[in-house]
Amino acid sequence: METVLPEDVLHRFLLESAGVRGVLVRLGPAWREVAGRAAYPEAVRDLLGQALAASALLTGNIKLEGSLSIELKSAGALRLLFAECTDQGRLRGLARWHDPLPEPLAVAELPQSVMAITIGHAERGQRYQGLVDLHYPSVGEALENYFQQSEQLPAKILLAADGERAVGLMVQRLPGEGGHDASTDEDGWNRIEHLTATLGVDEMLGTSPEQLLYRLYHEESIRLFEPRPLAFGCSCTRERVESMLRSLGREEVEAALEAREGEIEVICEFCAQRYIFDRIDAEHLLSASHNAAASTTAQ
Ligand SMILES: [Zn+2]
């Protein structure tokens, strides 16, 4: 009989005497929803799963308003990888690739690859963006380095994914007061880092969060916070699609109407929601843009 594991959940924990805080994310159904949107080759799928788990993981210790996204672009076979987690715990993601894929598929080897972490409200223009140095063997290690650089605190990040689950674990030394280590336990961080590094991919994917934390840190004083639920969710709306069409301009919209017998169909790549616009809708949204432009000039 298969045991049902608690999934789509984010756990925050504190290893008090060691002076270390941590986040553990385990995705099941939410990840399968994302993974099932395209016929992803295994290597692409697993990287996408890792990025999705990481996007949730990185929200664990920050005060998030809006969303946190991880985006990788390259001129190579993996053109785009995008994963996002909102302040409501809604996750979405996608990847674009072309064959042949290099084996193994390592982000550091992709030509002209750039990875950015964006935090905040894109639409309100309130956002912070940081670039991740990708010269590391894994996405986890690249993010680890990013954290070390940006927060000046040592961190350890492990990510794992297969077709069923995506799991991420992050431990981070607590910021000390006045530049000193917060804990009196001199060896705390080294011990936790070593314990965490012993975790294998299969163990990560096959163990429930509570069991995993117990197995790793049962000799430490561990404090678990209330788990946060996560779920698949897309932020697309008809209004957003309208403003995208508006930004294309009249000529392009009319050409699209012409090509598809008077109907524009837009399908969201994240959630497969269909949006249909006929000539009347198109005229309406284009004239709305005209009015908006007119009122801006009038000011
Ligand atoms: Zn959508």
pLDDT in tens, 130-159: 999 999 999 999 999 998 888 888 999 999
Centre of ligand 1 to C-alpha 175, Å, is: 38
Centre of ligand 1 to C-alpha 140, Å, is: 27
Topology annotation, domain 238-292: CBS domain Like (3.90.1280)
pLDDT for the residue numbered 63: 87
Instruction: Check pLDDT > 60 for residue 187.
Output: yes
Q: What is the pTM of this model?
A: 0.89
Highest mean pLDDT among 117-121, 125-129, 172-176: 117-121
Candidates 63, 49, 10, 43; CA nearest to 170 is 10
Centre of ligand 1 to C-alpha 191, Å, is: 43
pLDDT tens, 221-248? 899 999 999 999 998 999 999 999 999 9
Centre of ligand 1 to C-alpha 238, Å, is: 10
pLDDT for the residue numbered 80: 96
Contacts of 210-214 with C-beta under 8 Å, sequence gap 24+, read: 210/6, 212/24, 212/169, 213/11, 213/13, 213/24
Pick the CATH number of 9-232 from 3.55.30.10, 3.90.1150.10, 3.40.50.300, 3.90.920.20: 3.55.30.10
pLDDT tens, 96-118? 999 999 999 999 899 999 999 99
Centre of ligand 1 to C-alpha 90, Å, is: 12
Which of 3-7, 105-109, 187-191, 236-240 has the weakest average pLDDT?
Answer: 3-7
For residue 292, name the pLDDT band (cuts at 50, 70, 90): low
**Common-topology check for domains 9-232 and 238-292:** no
Centre of ligand 1 to C-alpha 67, Å, is: 15
- Residues that place a CB less than 5 A from ion ligand 1: 234, 236, 268, 270-271, 273
The residues spanned by each domain of the chain are 9-232, 238-292
Candidates 128, 138, 159, 155; CA nearest to 63 is 128
Consecutive H or E run containing 75: none
